[in-house]
Structure 1
Amino acid sequence: MPTAVAMLDRQMRYVVVSKQWQTLFGQEGINLVGYCDDELFSHLPDIWNKNVQDCLAGNLQQWEIECLISLPEQASRWVKFNVQSWLTDQGNIGGLIVHLEDLSKHKQLEREQQQAQLAIHQAGDAIYCLTSEGQVCYANPATCDLLGYSEAELLQLNIHEIDPDLSAVVWQEHYNKIQKKGNIRFQSCHQKKNGKIISVEVSASYLDTQSSGENSHLKNLENLPLICWLVRDIGDQKAAHSAITASRDQLEAVLNAVPGLVSWISSDLRYLGVNKHLAQAYNFPAEEFIGREVGFLQTSPEFNQFVYQFFANHKWVDSKEITANVQDLPRTYLIVAQKYQRGKAAVFVGLDITQRQQMEVALRQSEEREARRRVELEEALAQLQRTQAQLVQTEKMLSLSQLVAGVAHEVNNPVNFIFGNLSHAQNYLQEVMSLLELYQQNYPQPTADIEEILEEMDLSFIKQDLPQLLESMKLGAERIRDVVRSLRLFTHVNEAQVKTVDLHEGLNSALMILQNRLQAKGGRSSIELVKEYGDLPRVQCYASQLNQVFLNLITFGIERIETAILRGQVIKRPLIRVRTQCLEDDLISISISDNSPGMTTEECRQVFQPLLNVKNDQETRLGLSIAYHLVVEQHGGQLECFSDLERGTEFIIRIPYTLVKSD
């Protein structure tokens, strides 16, 4: 290769430049004569400038330097400068002669060599090198870990001390074979430092470091023919192979023990094998099935079609009941299919269910009879429960009516006495007050005794407070009278027959009874009551029964709100809403709703069942069952529940204006 050389004067300007120099740095089209050195190489190390000055001063005749240079529009490259001075005719130093060698390829080879050595050193598999005599000359850390030796100990060993089967004679045969073929692979055994023998797989390669030159990855062992020994512990692999063999034998025993017909079939619809039961069932040797097409026996077109369809679809598991002729008798089999080997094969297991089907038919008929009986019993039980609940409730209402009648009679007399005397007391008070004012006007200077008494009794305060006191007594008496009236109205004492009533009065009486439960208590705020009454006509109904319905539905809403708050659920504004309106077809609607957390669809569907034990207590849910019975059966109406987990629960009652009794 032509040498890249340049001659420079003392000012480091180019005097002569070889063609190879210009080609090396991509300057073919430029005449570099007269250019300064730093115009071409602007980032040379400081030692370059120092050596240049020493060489021009005669202190340094010749020197070399390797460095990485960068040129415009070119990749960086490693070069070596060989520099010496040149003399003029007078014997003076006229400048420098620079020889340049491109080291990029050499450096690249060095990096590759280092990377290869590092890869071998850090490999997960054991790698070691042997001389032609079988002496270990290199071992990576994985080899040390595998055999339990240190690196220094391994370098003292011969191959027959590691592999007892490789005596000197056998080793020479292996060496010649490896040298001839370049590489071989075989299984052998290695002995660890602790004496344990392990199974290994060896990949042996021949390395001719004499001919590898700079490409050798084992630079410290150049000029030696070596064998690279890559060893992998296959003890687990052999154990796994043995386990697989044992599993295969076990699986074959299991399949033969299965009390059914088992076959495994490839995706090209040919038998891969069958168990002994299938072979015996068709009186055909098991080995004769292998390779035959499905259906060659022509005993079950249904099974053939099932196999075709199973391989044609994407299901990995499927099952089907089919009929097959076995020993000239029709039998019913449940075929279960499972693909394996990525869908290239499948196993089919057929269980004889002929007798089971007969038993299932008999059992199904028996279950149908029992189901009919169970439905009849459930209906009878439900009717009994409703009747018992209604009897209990009727007894309660009768007792309550009697109690209310007695209380009303006992309370009404004193209340009427209070009402009858309050007006007279107010008149007397007014007359006494007028008389006191007249005395004060005519005798403005009372005696000292009277003055003292007036100050003690604070006459001005009494004059102001006494009318308010009488007014409070009047309001309290009115409240007692309203409560008694609401109780009488709610129970409709002596009104057990059909009456024409104002439903709003019944709603108000129920709300009056529940007023205490709407108030704030137990760490919760009060429950707001919103009444949205429409213009309703008077309705013909069993008033006390409807009042009982209103009470039960409103109680249910209050208890759901209380239960939610006790469980830590946040209800910002507890609310009970009562809405009434007229509908078409001579119907009226009463809606009672709350904003508690709603019920699921299943709970809402079963809310009127008397014995359902869910969120609220049993007595409240029994009240809903009674309410449903009274609305639907006693009044020919509808009672529906609407609820979800976000908006709360709403009950809607629809009844006709005029009660029509069913026969």
Structure 2
Amino acid sequence: MAAHQAPPGQFMYLHNCPEFQLFLEYTPTAVAMFDRHMRYMAATRRWLTDYGFQQESYIGREHYEVFPQTPDIWKTVHQLCLTGYTENASTDSFVREDGSVEWVKWKGYPWYDSNGEIGGTIFSSEIITEGKYTQEAVVKKQTALATTIRDISQPKWAETGVGKSAAQFRALAKREQLLNRLASQIRNSLDLDTVIETAIQEIQQLLQIDRCTFCWYKPDTNPPIWEAIKEARNPNLPAVLGCYPEILIGSVHQQLLNQEIVRIDDVATFADSNFRQLVQSLGYQSTIQLPFKTRSGDIGVISCAQCSYPRPWTDSEVELLQAVIAQLAIAVNQAELYRHTRQAAVNAQKQAYQLERTLEELKKTQTQLVQSEKMSSLGQLVAGVAHEINNPVNFIFGNIVHANGYVEDLLNLLKLYQQTYPQPSLEILEEIEAVDLDFLMMDLPKLLTSMKMGADRIREIVRSLRSFSRHDEAQMKAVDIREGIDSTLMILQHRLKATTTRPEIEVIKNYEPLGPIACYAGQLNQVFMNLLANAIDALEEQWSRSNFAIYNSQLALTTFGCGKSSLLQESQIFHPKIRINTEIVKGNYVAICIADNGSGMTPEVQNRLFDPFFTTKPVGVGTGLGLSISYQIVEKHGGKLYCRSKLGQGTEFVVEIPIHHL
């Protein structure tokens, strides 16, 4: 491998970044990045186009190998940049591989690596050949004009032809200056409409013509059309903006597609009848059409017209218009590149935003699946435990009934013995006293009754657990949702009871007759569990903030017998309450309202209430998924879950679901 060429792939890591690739593709300026040995690391599309590279064939190649006729002064410039200097030139020559010479202006400066060391150079350039030649022509003509005027010694020269020639030279110089100004104006803008509008206005004023119009060719329409989008005209002329089918253009259409200039000094003598009729209908007497093609393949046309009289188009005017077209093509390409760059940036931003949203949704879905799986496993566990407990409880409950009857029979028999044999033997009397027969006969029925009550309680808990879990119901079923609420309350009973730090949480139920409701009972019970548990949390927090000290003092005074004589009045103590209402609303909907008299919520908290992972609880206490999952469950039922709350006035959650699903 040659010493001046880098190993394959050494610099390709730069091109693995999509955003960097977009930068290289759409940056409107010719920019190249080199290492310390002047080997190419990266270059913009404009650089590759201006200097005739194939895509990626330049990477790793030394600049002096690609352009062997580069002057030695460039190596000096290169070394100066590597020492930290910034070098530039407003005009410099550049020899292409085919031997042609271009004029460029350039700027070079060093770039620094992450360690602060100079890693190489960056050069930006702009080809100014056309402007250079135009400027040189102006200088030559101005010099010739000055020489001619200086050499005139006889007054008759001025009277005959020199005055006229001088005027022509001055007009030409003025036109060249206007061309330079126009080139500067249209190439300094990156807005396509501004570029086109500036160009046609300057042309119309420069040539003193009646009309100058810009058209785009639209081959994708049906039929294909030429669309006139901008015009500069004399105020007394009507506008000609609009769409013109290509069939009306006649043979001129193909000439324009072939990038041929169509020059018509007198429209009345033009051979193509279609085009002649079209331009005559627009009032043209002379016209010239100058096409150009953009880098993206679009074809545009500058159309100049004289309407007041037939006007011959001079060669100098055609040359001037060609120069304008060349500048306009460059400006349009720059504007297109800028537009594509901006669009690519917007698309990249949208894609990044969409990817971020997708990742958030994926994270949320994954967490919710884990939570749902936990709830499903818990439901299966609860259902299994309830089933295992149910069988022995039923056995105990059934036998207690018989045992109670047997005991009653035995006690009746014992009483009969006592009545028949009031004077038992001494041994029996001693045993009666030892077992405390009177107490046993009085307490045994109470004991059996207590056992029956306990068995009833266990059966009720088992029934509530089985009703709450309903893990095997994958389809909607018509159920009494009030049973689901009661089952949830039964499971949460241990949290509702009074504790050593707060009184019992009172539950006020106001159930309207509802009838069976079609729903996923197990999932709906999960919603009730989340809402009721949150209400209990809110009440406990409110209690701990406002009444803990008062309640403990009241409890102590009551314990020591002070009771209501204490200065602490009953009205001072906060009484935690949960109110549950069910009612039919909107004809086919049932509303379940679960309200607490806690501290309420701020509007900011309410706005984020159903966001995944949002919680007001301390770290490690709440997951922030309960209300989010509840919201999705209610949505799955075709209903809605919303909250009404004011700070200091409690909170109410409302679940609305349809009674019948259509």
Say yes or no: TM over 0.5: no
* TM-score normalized with structure 2 length: 0.43
Q: TM-score, normalised by structure 1?
A: 0.43
Q: Which has the larger radius of gyration?
A: 1
Name the one with the larger helix percent. Answer: 2
Give the number of the structure whose residues are more often strand, by fraction.
Answer: 1
